[in-house]
């Protein structure tokens, strides 16, 4: 099997490559492969059995003023990949997001929940999902992720650890609920999905359990060696941003059960494993 990883230099792309260690992997970052370039994608897919698309426009606030850019990477790019995979007979793994939902639920969103994004980024990712389904639905996995952190890039966990070391007190929103998710865990789960030959379709790739950003920040402060009490709760209105955020981003994991694959472990266990492996070291050693 030959695997092509797009967006390979990103936080998730790096961990996907680690999870595929020992296998034949072609890794392409955005400077090496523009996923919106049909000719380049077709060339890159020669001899490839599985494409794992980690390329994405991830600037949620920036997308509000750059709709064209977000749509190009998050919707047009996946459409090109799906069509190329269909032509080549390749399997496609495409990562999406909890932002395809409105965020006003009170119980975990099912995999077949209706699209209802509240910002441009969410719209672009929803369109990308539709394009993948239309272009190569029979041989594609759409994996929705959320609240990602990992060793290979900037993220909330690293930011909080840095602030813990430099600020006597910080305020973090306590009215957004979701699932902090390790990119290392997500990468391993992706490989499990592929190795199991699971049915094509949508899967929710988030660690289990739930927390608010405030609760996650408390956990980070404690892991970094600082008092949890240094984190104070506040609400989203205190931190207005260009793009609206979903208040409820907890995703259900029924598709894993149907596929006979255990859901991802509790977020706290995953986070503390990441800390033990050095996730916060660069942020707290300064």
> Domains in the chain and their CATH numbers?
2-154+180-208+251-265 (3.40.50.720)
User: pLDDT at residue 286 above 60?
Assistant: no
Residues recognised as catalytic: 121
Mean pLDDT of 13-38: 98
* Band of residue 95 on the pLDDT scale cut at 50, 70, 90: very high
What would the two tokens of residue 22 be? 């020992």
Q: pLDDT over 70 for what percent of the chain?
A: 99
Can you tell me the mean pLDDT for 75-83?
Answer: 98
Q: Which structure tokens are listed for 74?
A: 């998050």
207: which 2 tokens? 């660690």
- pLDDT for res 285: 57
Whether the per-residue pLDDT at 224 is higher than 80: the answer is yes
- Work out the percent of the chain whose per-residue pLDDT is above 90: 98
Write down the mean pLDDT value for the chain: 97
pLDDT confidence of residue 14: 98
The pLDDT value recorded for residue 284 is: 65
């Amino acid at each position: 099997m030959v695997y092509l990883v797009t967006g390979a230099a990103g936080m998730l792309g790096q961990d996907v490559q680690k999870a595929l260690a020992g296998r034949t992997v072609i890794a392409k970052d955005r400077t090496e492969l523009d996923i919106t370039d049909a000719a380049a994608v077709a060339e890159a897919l020669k001899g490839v059995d599985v494409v794992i698309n980690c390329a994405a426009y991830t600037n949620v606030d920036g997308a509000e003023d750059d709709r064209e850019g977000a749509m190009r990477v998050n919707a047009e790019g996946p459409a090109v990949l799906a069509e190329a995979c269909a032509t080549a007979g390749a399997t496609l793994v495409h990562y999406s997001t909890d932002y395809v939902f409105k965020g006003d639920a009170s119980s975990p969103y099912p995999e077949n929940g209706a699209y209802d994004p509240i910002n441009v980024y969410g719209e672009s990712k929803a369109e990308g999902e539709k394009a993948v389904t239309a272009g190569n639905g029979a041989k594609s996995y759409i994996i929705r992720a959320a609240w990602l952190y990992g060793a290979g890039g900037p993220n909330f966990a690293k930011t909080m650890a840095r602030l813990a070391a430099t600020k006597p007190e910080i305020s973090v929103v306590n009215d957004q609920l979701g699932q902090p998710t390790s990119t290392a865990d997500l990468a391993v789960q992706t490989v499990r999905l592929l190795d199991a030959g699971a049915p094509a379709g949508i899967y929710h790739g988030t660690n289990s359990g739930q927390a608010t950003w405030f609760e996650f920040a408390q956990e980070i402060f404690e892991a970094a060696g600082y008092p949890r009490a240094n984190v104070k709760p506040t609400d989203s209105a205190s931190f207005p941003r260009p793009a609206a955020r979903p208040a409820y981003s907890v995703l259900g994991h029924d598709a894993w059960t149907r596929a006979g694959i255990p859901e991802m472990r509790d977020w706290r266990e995953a986070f503390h494993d990441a800390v033990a492996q050095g996730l916060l070291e660069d942020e707290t050693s300064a």
